[in-house]
């Protein structure tokens, strides 16, 4: 009888060990998944490539941080002014969209450490006589995307100060650029790197100046960080900097030689480093080389 009892005990022990291990494995496989909200009409921060993939600096930084910190991300595209309401409502967990850190926004959401500095570039048509000062003065039509700091700056510093400009707000940058090219507005403002990119992607436009607003961009989470994401994002960002991943992604998307027309090809060529090999360092390095055209 005794030995039978022992057998039962051993069987139970072995079983619970196997089940316990199994449970542990299942637990490890199901990594946490977070939804990242973005506004993918802001190259080079975020854009949709010709195959429908959301790419760009913010998107890749989000994927790389998730990889080094061991969670999954799903990137969801929406209009810029829907992002903060979506975050507040818990429909997205993180916002990565070139978001300027402002006191007003800081009251309703929380930010990571700044990851980028930007000012506001002023675009006009190539054949226009306007400069950055005259473009933003009486009698002119100025455009910006709804809900952005550009829209806020134009409202606060021109409209509210009695400057007789007509401010047109757009849901997407593509519509604004089209109106600028067609003469329905005289100028358009966007974060400097995006304005430079719109300039290089649209030969009919030129950038005539920069309004020095001195903005710092951060990633955002819900007020009070209920999911404990800020430490993951800040530590992850620091790790990307130390490992050179941040710099390679920065050069790939913002570098002097980077040509966003190449992004569809380069992402297609490099995505396996990220998705199959799960090696964000190799991805960033190869993307940089490809975007600079040095792999040909």
C-alpha–C-alpha distance, residues 25 and 28, integer Å: 5
Cβ nearer to ligand ARG, comparing 56 with 286: 56
Place of tokens 């790939």: 252
Measured from the CB of residue 34, what is the shortest distance to ligand ARG in angstroms?
A: 18
Cβ nearer to ligand ARG, comparing 151 with 245: 151
Cβ nearer to ligand ARG, comparing 45 with 170: 45
Cβ nearer to ligand ARG, comparing 116 with 273: 116
Measured from the CB of residue 150, what is the shortest distance to ligand ARG in angstroms?
A: 6
Between CA 107 and CA 115, with CA 111 as vertex, the angle to 5 degrees is 140
Measured from the CB of residue 70, what is the shortest distance to ligand ARG in angstroms?
A: 26
Helices (H) and strands (E) in the chain, counts: 12, 13
C-alpha–C-alpha distance, residues 177 and 198, integer Å: 8
Token duo for residue 22: 């199994």
| Strand positions, DSSP E, the chain | 33-38, 41-42, 46-48, 54-55, 72-77, 94-95, 109-111, 116-125, 141-145, 166-170, 187-191, 205-217, 220-222
Q: Which residue is nearest to ligand ARG (CB)?
A: 98
Contacts to ligand ARG by CB under 6 A? 39, 42, 45-46, 80, 97-100, 148-149, 191, 215
Nearby residues of 174 by Cβ (< 8 Å), 6 or more positions away: 41
Cβ nearer to ligand ARG, comparing 80 with 283: 80
Measured from the CB of residue 52, what is the shortest distance to ligand ARG in angstroms?
A: 18
Q: Is 57 exposed, middle or buried (0-12, 13-18, 19+ CB in 10 A)?
A: buried
Cβ nearer to ligand ARG, comparing 80 with 198: 80
C-alpha–C-alpha distance, residues 237 and 162, integer Å: 42
Measured from the CB of residue 36, what is the shortest distance to ligand ARG in angstroms?
A: 12
Strand partners, 100: 217
Measured from the CB of residue 120, what is the shortest distance to ligand ARG in angstroms?
A: 8
Cβ nearer to ligand ARG, comparing 116 with 267: 116
Which bin fits 90, alpha (ψ -120 to 50), beta or left (φ > 0)?
Answer: left
Measured from the CB of residue 130, what is the shortest distance to ligand ARG in angstroms?
A: 22
Strands 116-125 vs 72-77: parallel, antiparallel or unpaired: unpaired
Cβ nearer to ligand ARG, comparing 39 with 286: 39
Measured from the CB of residue 145, what is the shortest distance to ligand ARG in angstroms?
A: 7
């Amino acid at each position: 009888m005794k030995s039978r009892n022992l057998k039962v005990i051993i069987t139970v022990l072995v079983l619970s060990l196997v089940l316990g291990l199994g449970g542990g494995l299942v637990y490890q496989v199901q990594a946490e998944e977070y939804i990242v909200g973005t506004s993918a009409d802001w190259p080079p921060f975020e854009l949709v490539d010709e195959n429908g993939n959301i790419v760009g600096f913010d998107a890749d930084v989000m994927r790389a941080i998730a990889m080094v910190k061991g969670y999954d991300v799903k990137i969801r595209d929406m209009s810029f002014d829907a992002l903060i309401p979506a975050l507040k409502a818990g429909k997205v967990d993180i916002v990565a969209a070139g978001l300027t850190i402002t006191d007003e926004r800081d009251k309703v959401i929380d930010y990571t450490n700044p990851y980028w500095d930007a000012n506001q570039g002023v675009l006009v048509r190539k054949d226009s006589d306007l400069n950055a000062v005259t473009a933003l003065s009486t009698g002119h039509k100025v455009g910006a995307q709804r809900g952005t700091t550009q829209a806020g700056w134009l409202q606060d510093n021109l409209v509210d100060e009695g400057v007789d400009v007509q401010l047109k707000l757009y849901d997407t940058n593509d519509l604004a650029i089209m109106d600028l090219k067609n003469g329905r507005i005289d100028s358009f403002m966007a974060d400097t790197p995006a304005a430079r990119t719109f300039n290089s992607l649209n030969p009919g436009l030129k950038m005539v100046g920069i309004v020095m607003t001195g903005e710092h961009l951060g990633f955002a989470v819900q007020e009070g960080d209920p999911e404990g994401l800020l430490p993951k994002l800040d530590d992850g960002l620091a790790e990307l900097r130390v490992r050179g991943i941040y710099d390679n992604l920065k050069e790939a998307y913002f570098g002097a030689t980077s040509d966003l027309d190449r992004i569809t090809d380069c992402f297609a060529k490099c995505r396996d480093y990220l998705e199959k090999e799960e090696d964000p360092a190799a991805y960033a390095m190869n993307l940089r080389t490809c975007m600079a055209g040095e792999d040909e």
